[in-house]
């Protein structure tokens, strides 16, 4: 369906910002200004599930510091917009050897994770599956004790339909009465 990504990202992150602040974390939501007036086609419910899971994890696994959520336009070609989504934190990080396992269903980094943070180990498995259905790969960068960064690119057809308002209804090049 047709939607605006700025509005969607604000809706997804609204409650999360409060959660982060309650934990004493800084939270930055940075959405490319070029996306402000754009209407795109996609599945906002699935995007919400993906971003919500990533942001929840970032907050959950960050005892102090910062969480960044970014949506950046990588370009608009033939009315297809490529967006990079990145969720980054200064949290506990993930051991190199576990970077693949965390995407398996019911898998958490260690038994300590379960004890300390709870959870089911399903979130990332769902995220990975939802992205795979669109042939999208998730990229992870993480350093134990320093933080993690999850990112992926998604393409969206851009709606060329413009909302009609009084000003726009006027002709673009008015006829010059003198010429
Ligand atoms: P859950 O959040 O229920 O534990 P997930 O599937 O979302 O399950 O994540 C799986 C595991 O990956 C987590 O238990 C945790 O060990 C690790 N993980 C996910 N996101 C992060 C993160 N931002 N920082 C550190 N570890 C993470």
The pLDDT value recorded for residue 119 is 82
pTM to 2 decimals? 0.89
Ligand 1 pocket: which of 62, 113, 124 to mutate (most atoms within 8 A of CB) = 124
- Contact 44 CB / ligand 1 (< 6 Å): no
The pLDDT value recorded for residue 171 is 53
Tokens of 99: 């970077």
The pLDDT value recorded for residue 164 is 59
Ligand 1 pocket: which of 51, 58, 123, 128 to mutate (most atoms within 8 A of CB) = 123
The pLDDT value recorded for residue 1 is 94
Q: Give the residue from 46, 69, 76, 93 showing the smallest Cα distance to 151.
A: 69
| Pair type for strands 66-77 and 26-31 | parallel
The pLDDT value recorded for residue 63 is 97
| CB-based contacts of 54-57 (< 8 A; 24+ apart in sequence) | 54/87, 54/127, 54/150, 55/12, 55/13, 55/16, 55/87, 56/16, 56/123, 57/87, 57/123, 57/124, 57/150
The pLDDT value recorded for residue 115 is 77
CA–centroid distance, residue 109 to ligand 1 (Å): 7
Please give the average pLDDT of every successive group of 10 residues along the chain, which has 179 residues.
97 96 97 94 96 97 98 95 98 95 89 80 94 96 97 96 58 54
- Contact 127 CB / ligand 1 (< 6 Å): no
The pLDDT value recorded for residue 13 is 97
Among all chains, which residue has been given the structure tokens 């800084």? 26
Please give the angle made by the CA atoms of 144, 113 and 104, to the nearest 5 degrees.
85
């Amino acid at each position: 369906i047709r939607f605006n990504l700025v509005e969607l990202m604000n809706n997804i992150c609204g409650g999360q910002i409060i959660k982060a602040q309650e934990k004493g974390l800084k939270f930055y939501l940075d959405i490319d200004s070029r996306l402000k007036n754009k209407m795109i086609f996609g599945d906002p419910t699935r995007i919400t599930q993906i971003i919500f899971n990533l942001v929840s994890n970032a907050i959950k696994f960050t005892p102090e510091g910062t969480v960044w959520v970014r949506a950046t336009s990588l370009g608009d070609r033939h009315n297809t917009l490529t967006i990079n989504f990145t969720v980054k934190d200064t949290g506990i990080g993930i051991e190199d050897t576990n970077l693949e396992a965390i995407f398996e269903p019911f898998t958490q980094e260690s038994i300590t994770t379960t004890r300390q943070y709870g959870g089911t180990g399903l979130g990332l498995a769902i995220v990975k599956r939802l992205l795979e259905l669109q042939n999208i790969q998730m990229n992870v960068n993480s350093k134990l004790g320093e933080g993690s960064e999850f990112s992926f690119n998604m393409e969206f057809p851009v709606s060329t339909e413009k909302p009609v308002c009084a000003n726009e209804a006027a002709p673009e090049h008015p006829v010059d009465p003198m010429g």
